[in-house]
Chain A
């Protein structure tokens, strides 16, 4: 069963990371938790553009890294074709 659904699950895991990072903005700013989301929120309120742009690029990099590593893992775990 696991080899069948494995690739999809890994791909889903890669996508979920970007969703989680996006959700961190409202969650962290409303609950008062320090983190990237709260930092981005405060930067937006004080119009700190360099910080915001860099945070956006950082999150993009993490997303790309997650997606690429998911792709690599799928490739490694793929059953060898005879």
Chain B
């Protein structure tokens, strides 16, 4: 088990390092079209061949990994902050606020996640610049993904509110935001970290889902979702097995994340 976790850690770190080194590993960039070598098989120049307009697949995988692996944690940060605000405050205030927040999160959780995502995505303009589409995609994920974490956090904050040391702090005259910031929030930290780490694979998968549906990151920017979308036109993967690389990468990285997160400290 320990060896598996070490291997998973190495894989995640290696994939991150490779994607960060995209500028040097693939100097031509993700959008440069090698017109004379379109739809080429893997060669020395193009490690994974080129797509139908001649863009280097290897470069696109590297840059796509960079976008997916950097922005999923950013979205997780947004959602965890929102969850801390809603869940933490509700649990800390207790009473009617806790009930209201619980009812609201329950309502939010009962909405189907993917349906909610594509509905909100369709609310916003679809033909925007690639950079805006990236921001929209991950902001939606961050702003909609807080409910589950808020639910967990409100329970922990509720337990903290009734704990002895908060009672003593209150008896000593500490109250309001100071009590929340000094005594409650630091004690919520382990739960916050856990929720942050758990959100990352969820957001990576959601982005891939949106991308496959054509509602995620727009061309020519690559991401794991839009790279998977190119598999749609695949006729026979026996003839072109290298096109499955983005899919394999997604599976390997997600598996590594799950192995890393199966640690009891993290999921507790």
Interface set of A (CB-CB < 8 Å, partner B): 18, 21-23, 25-26, 29-30, 40-41, 43-45, 47-49, 52-53, 55-56, 59-60, 63-64
Question: B215 contacts which chain A residues (CB < 8 A)?
Answer: 44-45
Residues of B within 8 A of A56 (CB): 111-112, 115-116, 119
Give the shortest distance, in Å, between B259 (CB) and chain A (any CB).
Answer: 22
Minimum CB–CB distance from B108 to chain A (whole Å) comes to 11
Is the pair B122, A44 in contact by a Cβ cutoff of 8 Å?
Answer: yes
**Is A47 a contact of B122 with CB atoms below 8 Å?**
yes
Distance of A56 Cα from B110 Cα, bound (Å): 10
> Are A41 and B110 in contact (CB-based, < 8 A)?
no
A26 with B212: CB separation less than 8 A? yes
17 contacts between A and B (CB under 8 A): A22-B112, A22-B113, A22-B115, A25-B118, A25-B209, A26-B114, A26-B213, A30-B232, A44-B121, A44-B122, A47-B126, A48-B122, A52-B115, A52-B118, A56-B116, A60-B111, A63-B112
| Given A25-B213, A30-B212, A44-B215: A59 in contact with B119 (beta carbons within 8 A) | no
Residues of B bordering A, CB below 8 Å:
110-116, 118-119, 121-123, 126, 209, 212-215, 232
Q: Which residues of chain A come closer than 8 Å to B115, judged between CB atoms? A: 21-22, 25, 40, 52, 55-56, 59
A3 to B119, CA, bound (A): 41
CA distance A12 to B258 in the complex (A): 21
Q: How far in angstroms is the closest Cβ of chain A from B96? A: 25
**Are B119 and A52 interface neighbours, CB within 8 A?**
yes
Question: A40: which B residues are within 8 A, CB to CB?
Answer: 115, 118
Q: Which 6 A-B pairs have the closest CB atoms?
A: A44-B122, A44-B118, A22-B114, A56-B115, A52-B119, A59-B112
* B118 pairs with A41, CB closer than 8 A: yes
A43 and B122 contact, Cβ closer than 8 Å, known pairs A25-B213, A26-B212, A26-B213 = yes
With beta carbons under 8 angstroms apart, the residue of A23, A43, A45 that contacts B214 is: A45
How far, in Å, is B267 (CB) from chain A's closest CB? 18
Q: Which of A21, A23, A41 contacts B213 (CB 8 A)?
A: A41
Name the contact of B110 in the complex, choosing from A26, A47, A48, A60 (C-beta under 8 A): A60
CB distance from A52 to the nearest CB of B (A): 4
A55 CA to B122 CA, complexed, in Å: 13
Q: Min CB distance, A68 to chain B, in Å? A: 11
Inter-subunit contact B119/A64 (CB<8 Å): no
Chain B residue contacts of A63, Cβ below 8 A: 110, 112
Smallest Cβ-Cβ distance to B229: which chain A residue: A30
In the bound complex, CA of A45 to CA of B123 (Å): 10
Decide: A45 and B119 in contact? CB cutoff 8 A. Answer: no
Q: Which B residues are CB-close (under 8 A) to A29?
A: 213
Residues of A within 8 A of B121 (CB): 44
Q: How far is the CB of B40 from chain A (nearest CB, A)?
A: 26
Distance between Cα atoms of A29 and B210 in the complex (Å): 12
Point out the residues of chain B lying under 8 angstroms from A64, CB to CB: 110
